[in-house]
Amino acid sequence: MAATALTIDGLEVSFGSVKAVNNVTMTIAEGELRVLLGANGAGKTTLMDLISGRTHSTSGHIHLYDTEITNWQEHRIARAGIGRKFQIPSVFRELTVRQNFEVASCRNPSVFANLGFGFSRHALARIEEVLAIVDLRDKADVTAAYLSHGQTQWLELGLLMLQDPKVILLDEPTAGMTAAETKKTANIINSMRGKHTLLVVEHDMAFVREIAERITVLHLGEVLAEGDIASIETNEAVRRAYLGSRSIS
Amino acid sequence: MASRQRYDFLLYGLFVAAILLAPLMLDEFWLNRIAKYLVFGMLGVAVALSWGYAGILNLGQGLFFGAGAYMLAMSLKLASPTSLQQGSDTPVPDFMLWNAEPGALTQLCCINKGSFIWLPFQSQWFGVAMGIVLPVVIATITGLIVFRNRISGVFVSIITLALVLLVRLLVIDAQPLTNGFNGLTDLAWLTIGAFQSDPYSRATYYLVAIALSLVLVGARLLVSTRAGLILQATRDDETRARYLGLDVPSYQIFFFVVSAAICGFAGMLYVMVSEFASPTFMDLSFSITMVVWAAVGGRSSILGACVGAILINMIEAKVSETKALVEVWKAVVGLIFVLVVLYLPRGLGGFAHDLLDRWRAPATEAASDEGLVAESRDALAERG
């Protein structure tokens, strides 16, 4: 059996009197692709915020492999091996695509280590590879602000590949995409499978079917169900809570 | 990209050659003036670094400029003939005597309560070193507090603005120590071996010109390092940079401090060419003027901001001394600012880059023109 990449144990956070995430416990195995489903306000993004250090939990623990990373600062969590893609694409808009990738391939976080020029042959080769994977090779010298919405999303996925974290959190990677773009995104994500452990928040069921192995359903901050796509689609509790009485999609 | 860098370095080379060759065409009076403007050009470099590259609009650059200026001026004041001839073993600045209480001992150590601070400044090199060290220390402390607490945007501007005004007030208030409003005047020349910083000598002009060239090229190299690239990334999206594992505040602090050190250095050079240090260096208007220079020159271009500072000062000098414009010269200069901000939002530097791109483009453009022609032919065919 594969090692456990991410362990979430009794995680809770409250904003005022609202418990946004309530006693969530889940484990994700190394190399797994887990999809998080849930209606608006179910706590999916908050859970990602907690894992990546943007929000601090009120109780519970998060382990990355054997390291407890609960409530660390964001850049330390990132360096420990958790990468995150935001719902609204977030890239370095005034830099070119290639420069974006160069920033992401800086391994050493300190200023003084980065006072040199240029990048290693290995890093440059890896940048070319990623440019090919996300299909931005002919846009390499274009300023990121001029990319289309889909291309910006792929650029951000590319940043994550270069950062090369053990666990990657993707928050609605296909939001606002056309069907063709969604298909391409699914291919990119499938190419990341195996190399990284992935946790994906998504609403688009066609896309979920394309990529999902196991699904965790959140409802009002709690884990409602967990299983493969067939068992979730037929789960009575999920139907009632998330989909109303009608069937999925 | 590579060819653009080549053009960039060509432009830097031209600029350095121009300021080094200027003495061939100018008399001592103008050389001294231009030397002052070159110092302002150095301030332009500092503003471009922190505003253009780090996205930190520091409205208190004058604090670092003033700190550098005062540190050197204190040493030069003690070395001046009047300070040496007060009939005591140690040099004593004249204004301390004017402000001294009756019966006070005429010694630097104890003529007033704080005068002992001046003791180490008897060494000229202590003043020179402090001219960099003090701005760096102030910037490091400010930077640690501001950036570690993730203060950003307009709040940084407000804090730095308040800080420069606070220090200005303290300097004016400590009249017996700093000569208050009057500042430090009647300074000696800085002596390095056989060189003396006579402000109207060619040697002093060359000192300033070479210093500016080094700072300019150094800053340009610094922003093309990996750290420079990461800094621009943090400017564009701090959160993204943080989630890539980069320690964002350390980059902001580092470049904030470098910018402060350049300002301190400029302050020292300014003391050499103008022979005084005054609290006006820490006036709000001066710090804001620096930002205007950078905006006109192009804050995203280090050379642009530097040239902007020099050009504006030359235009101001020319216009204010033209008889017909004596009454309205400020309006003329203001009009230039408005026009630049309206029509060249990226300043002269951005304009120059656009021109360069257009000039280099013909080859690629011709190719894409062909493509366009083919496309429209197809479109026509479809319609037909």
Summarize pLDDT for B18-65 with one digit per residue, the tens.
Answer: 999 999 998 989 999 999 999 999 999 999 999 999 999 999 999 999
Number of domains within chain A: 1
CB A51 within 8 A of CB A169: yes
Q: Which residue has the higher pLDDT, B382 or B294?
A: B294
Q: Which residues of B touch A90 (CB under 8 A)?
A: 237, 239-240
Q: What is the mean pLDDT of chain B?
A: 89
The pLDDT of residue A249 is: 45
The pLDDT of residue A1 is: 52
Q: Which residue of A has its CA nearest to B237?
A: A92
Q: Which residues of A touch B254 (CB under 8 A)?
A: 111
Residues in chain B: 384
Using CB atoms, pick whichever of B230, B232, B239 lies closest to residue A114: B230
Residue A154 placed within a domain: yes
Tell me, yes or no, if B229 comes closer than 8 A to chain A by beta carbon: yes
Identify the residue among B226, B232, B238, B360 best suited for mutation to test binding to A, counting A beta carbons within 10 A and taking the highest: B226
Identify the residue among A74, A147, A170 best suited for mutation to test binding to B, counting B beta carbons within 10 A and taking the highest: A74
The pLDDT of residue A221 is: 86
Residue A173 placed within a domain: yes
Task: Please report, as a single letter, which amino acid is at residue A101.
Answer: F
Q: What is the pLDDT of residues A73-89, one digit of tens each?
A: 999 999 999 999 998 88
Task: Please report, as a single letter, which amino acid is at residue A26.
Answer: M
Distance CA B74, CA B120 (A): 10
Average pLDDT over residues B307-320: 91
Average pLDDT over residues B167-187: 94
Which of A13-27, B172-186, B226-240, B350-364 has the lowest average pLDDT?
B350-364
Instruction: Give how far A248 is from chain B: nearest CA, Å.
Output: 34
For A56, the domain range is: 4-243
Given a cut of 50, is residue B349 above it in pLDDT? yes
Supply A120's token pair.
Answer: 């290693």
Instruction: Give how far B147 is from chain A: nearest CA, Å.
Output: 14
Q: Are B235 and A94 an interchain contact pair (Cβ–Cβ within 8 Å)? A: yes
Given a cut of 70, is residue B280 above it in pLDDT? yes
The pLDDT of residue B3 is: 64
Residue A58 placed within a domain: yes
Given a cut of 90, is residue A15 above it in pLDDT? no
What are φ and ψ of residue B189, in 5° steps? -90, 145
Identify the residue among A82, A84, A92, A147 best suited for mutation to test binding to B, counting B beta carbons within 10 A and taking the highest: A92
A215 beta partners = A35, A227
Q: Which residue of A has its CA nearest to B230?
A: A103
Q: What is the pLDDT of residues B52-111, one digit of tens each?
A: 999 999 999 999 999 999 999 999 999 998 888 877 888 999 999 888 888 888 888 888
Domain residues of chain B, as ranges? 28-283
The DSSP call for residue A213 is: S
Q: With cut-offs at 50, 70 and 90, classify the pLDDT of residue A241.
A: confident
Burial class (CB in 10 A: 0-12, 13-18, 19+), B280: middle
CB B204 within 8 A of CB B273: yes
Q: Which residue of B has its CA nearest to A112?
A: B227
Give, for B336, the enclosing helix (H) or strand (E): helix B329-343
Residue A53 placed within a domain: yes
Q: With cut-offs at 50, 70 and 90, classify the pLDDT of residue B357.
A: confident
Residue A248 placed within a domain: no
Tell me, yes or no, if B323 comes closer than 8 A to chain A by beta carbon: no
Query: Where does chain B show beta strands of DSSP type E?
Result: 191-192, 195-196
Q: Are B233 and A96 an interchain contact pair (Cβ–Cβ within 8 Å)? A: no
CA distances from A192 to A37, A44, A51, B231, B266 (A): 20, 21, 20, 28, 52
The listed range with the strongest mean pLDDT (A202-211, B14-23, B357-366) is: B14-23
H helical segments located in A30-148: 44-52, 74-80, 97-104, 121-133
The pLDDT of residue B137 is: 98
Tell me, yes or no, if A33 comes closer than 8 A to chain B by beta carbon: no
The pLDDT of residue A229 is: 86
Average pLDDT over residues A216-220: 89
Average pLDDT over residues A148-175: 93
CB B48 within 8 A of CB B300: yes
Q: Which residues of B touch A89 (CB under 8 A)?
A: none
Tell me, yes or no, if B3 comes closer than 8 A to chain A by beta carbon: no
Given a cut of 80, is residue B364 above it in pLDDT? no
ipTM of the complex: 0.89
Residue A249 placed within a domain: no
- Residues 236-275, chain B: which have Cβ within 8 Å of A? 236-237, 239-248, 250-251, 254
Give the largest CA-CA distance in chain A. Answer: 61
Q: Which residues of B touch A92 (CB under 8 A)?
A: 232-233, 236-237, 240-241
Residue A172: closest CA among A157, A158, A187, A151: A157
Distance CA A66, CA A84 (A): 20
Distance CA B59, CA A98 (A): 33
Q: Which residues of A touch B247 (CB under 8 A)?
A: 75, 109-111
Return all residues near B207 (Cβ < 8 A) that are at least 6 apart: B195, B197, B269, B272
Average pLDDT over residues B136-143: 97
The pLDDT of residue B366 is: 45
What is the DSSP secondary-structure string of B139-153? HHHHHHHHHHTT--T
Distance CA A215, CA A212 (A): 7
Instruction: Give how far B221 is from chain A: nearest CA, Å.
Output: 9
Given a cut of 80, is residue B4 above it in pLDDT? no
Using CB atoms, pick whichever of A95, A112, A159 lies closest to residue B232: A95
Residue B240: closest CA among A100, A130, A135: A100
- CATH number of the domain within which A127 lies: 3.40.50.300
Q: What is the pLDDT of residues B110-135, one digit of tens each?
A: 888 888 999 999 999 999 999 999 99
The pLDDT of residue B368 is: 46
Residue A10 placed within a domain: yes
The pLDDT of residue A6 is: 93
Q: Which residues of B touch A120 (CB under 8 A)?
A: none
Residue A100: closest CA among B4, B310, B244, B352: B244
Buried b (16+ CB within 10 A) or exposed e, A213-236: ebbbbbbbbbbbbeeebeebbebe
Which of B106-115, B165-174, B219-228 has the lowest average pLDDT?
B106-115
* Angle of helix B284-297 versus helix B61-79 axis, rounded to 10: 120
The pLDDT of residue A248 is: 47
Q: Which residues of B touch A104 (CB under 8 A)?
A: 244
CB B63 within 8 A of CB B41: no
Distance CA B43, CA B26 (A): 23
Using CB atoms, pick whichever of B233, B250, B254 lies closest to residue A92: B233
Q: What is the CA radius of gyration of chain A?
A: 18
Tell me, yes or no, if B2 comes closer than 8 A to chain A by beta carbon: no
Percentage of chain A beyond pLDDT 70 is 96
Given a cut of 90, is residue B345 above it in pLDDT? no
Tell me, yes or no, if A119 comes closer than 8 A to chain B by beta carbon: yes
Q: Which residues of B touch A100 (CB under 8 A)?
A: 233
Tell me, yes or no, if A91 comes closer than 8 A to chain B by beta carbon: yes
Supply B169's token pair.
Answer: 């007030």
Tell me, yes or no, if A65 comes closer than 8 A to chain B by beta carbon: no
CB A91 within 8 A of CB A159: yes
